[in-house]
Amino acid sequence: MIIVENLTKKYGEHTAIDRLNFHVRKGEVVGFLGPNGAGKSTTMKIITGFMAPSEGIARVGGFDVFENPIEVKKRIGYLPETPPVYADMLVRDYLTFVAQLKGVEGASLKTFVDRAIEKTHLGAVQKRLIQNLSKGFKQRVGIAQALVSNPEVLILDEPTVGLDPKQVAEIRDLIRELRGEHTVILSTHILPEVQATCERIIIINHGKIVAQDSLANLSTLKSGSRRVHLKVRKANADLQERLKALPGILAVVSTSPQDWQIDATESEDVIERVASEVIKNGAGLLEITSARADLEEIFLKLTYGNEAGGLA
Ligand SMILES: Nc1ncnc2c1ncn2[C@@H]1O[C@H](COP(=O)(O)OP(=O)(O)O)[C@@H](O)[C@H]1O
Ligand SMILES: [Mg+2]
């Protein structure tokens, strides 16, 4: 549905995005994750036809965004970084206005506006002035205007930025409801956002894609390490040294005399080996759990760690 090839944007001397390549299939919900300044908004502005790339191509539903911007815009609903707010319009009037701009007419007009209002739970405020709404409701109006022409593709630039936790949860629910009906790309600089809503994520840093994969693959298969939490009754003095000496153990840290945290290379039998060493030590094993390195660590490594680093 969306094809991006070697997409590059330079602002003067500054390269904001550098040869991006990715595809998004119909019905997918893809998260564009990266710290501020990574190039997320720039990419979205190009895909939606609001800005020309310096090089490379972007296609939506088979149409090149610059050869056929009208065809592309028909298929896309866009929530920009700073949503266009017509503060002195009523919610319903504004949505009707946007739908008309997008070519919705006749009997469809009321149906489409009703549907956007219903999806974004704006029914109770549809006759209110936009300027009198809370930030959370304004953001919903922004999403409603993206939805109102019932486009195949939705591009949402940081849809939860500046909202309180309850509002964030509501927007996340809404995005989950859109799954399957629309192809969605959303951007965010916060990881829980993509974890909550997206099937696939593209991590971007300094204008380059540093990883792209399904959420499941990124958080497990590629992490290559495992963290074991250990609770013991009373460790003997040499436990730390003995654990460190086991094959595949990277680090052993005791966070309290009873609690230990062990990082190990990904291996099936690491738990078994740690448990048997603890028992030999006479420490009294109370609890042992293991988790794969989580996506947050991967994200931080990719975006704040080694500049040249990447998983791909
Ligand atoms: N209009 C512009 N003129 C010059 N530089 C810009 C402009 N817009 C964005 N940039 C720069 O391009 C880079 C990417 O910005 P942006 O796409 O907004 O990132 P993000 O949305 O990931 O925070 C940043 O370094 C930013 O300062
Ligand atoms: Mg941005």
- What residue owns the CA closest to ligand 1's atom 7? 11
**Cα 6 to ligand 2 centroid, rounded to whole Å:** 20
- Secondary structure letter of residue 182 according to DSSP: B
Average pLDDT over residues 295-307: 66
pLDDT score of 9 more than 70 = yes
Give residue 117's pLDDT: 96
3-state SS assignment for residue 189 = coil
Lining ligand 1 with CB less than 6 A are 11, 14, 16, 34, 36-42
Q: What would you report as the CA-atom Rg of the chain, rounded to the nearest whole angstrom?
A: 24
CATH code where residue 289 lies:
3.30.70.100
Check: CB of residue 26 under 8 Å from CB of residue 1: yes
On the CB side of 186, CA atoms within 13 Å amount to: 30
Other beta carbons less than 10 A from residue 150's beta carbon = 17
Using one digit for the tens of pLDDT, what is the confidence trace for 264-288? 876 668 888 898 999 999 988 998 8
pLDDT band at 220 (very low <50, low <70, confident <90, very high): low
d(CA 3, CA 5): 7
User: Would you state the torsion angle of the CA atoms of residues 40, 45, 48, 54, taken in this order, to the nearest 10 degrees?
Assistant: -100
Q: How confident is the model at residue 308 (pLDDT cuts 50, 70, 90)?
A: very low
Q: 145 and 267 share a domain?
A: no
Report the SS3 class of residue 3: strand
21 with 164, same domain: the answer is yes
- Residue 312 in any domain: the answer is no
| Cα separation, 244 vs 211, whole angstroms | 32
Lowest mean pLDDT among 15-29, 82-96, 204-218: 204-218
39 CA closest ligand 1 atom index: 17
The range of the structural domain enclosing residue 207 comes to 2-219
In a domain, 199, yes or no: yes
Greater model confidence, 290 or 150: 150
Say which CATH number the domain at 42 has. 3.40.50.300
Angle 165-178/135-147 helices, nearest 10 degrees?
A: 10
Counting residues of the chain whose pLDDT is more than 70, the rounded percentage is: 91
Please check whether residues 140 and 271 belong to one and the same domain: no
Query: Of 219, 250, 284, which residue is a domain's last?
Result: 219
pLDDT at 235: 84
169-205 burial code (b ≥16 CB/10 A, e <16): ebbbebbeebeeebbbbbbbbebebbbbbbbbbbbbb
Pair 19, 54 in one domain: yes
On whether both 193 and 272 belong to a single domain, the answer is: no
Domain closes at, from 219, 237, 252? 219
Question: Which atom from ligand 1 is nearest to the alpha carbon of 36?
Answer: 23
Q: Are residues 249 and 113 in the same domain?
A: no
Last residue of a domain, one of 219, 246, 265: 219
**35-85: pLDDT as tens digits:** 899 999 999 999 999 999 999 999 999 999 989 988 898 899 999 988 777
Q: Is the pLDDT of residue 221 over 60?
A: no
Looking at residue 248, its pLDDT comes to: 81
User: 3-class SS at 48?
Assistant: coil
DSSP helix/strand/coil, 79: strand
The ligand with the least distance to the CA atom of 45 is 1
Determine the distance separating the centroid of ligand 2 and the alpha carbon of 187, expressed in angstroms: 8
- On whether both 76 and 134 belong to a single domain, the answer is yes
Q: What is the DSSP letter of 123?
A: G
Give 247's contacts (C-beta < 8 A, 6+ positions apart).
Answer: 273
Nearest CA to ligand 1 atom 25: 37
The number of domains in the chain is: 2
Q: What is the rounded average pLDDT for all residues in the chain?
A: 87
pLDDT of residue 303: 73
In single-letter form, the type of residue at position 100 comes to Q
Considering only residues 295 and 157, tell me which one the structure prediction assigns the higher pLDDT. 157
Q: Are residues 163 and 249 in the same domain?
A: no
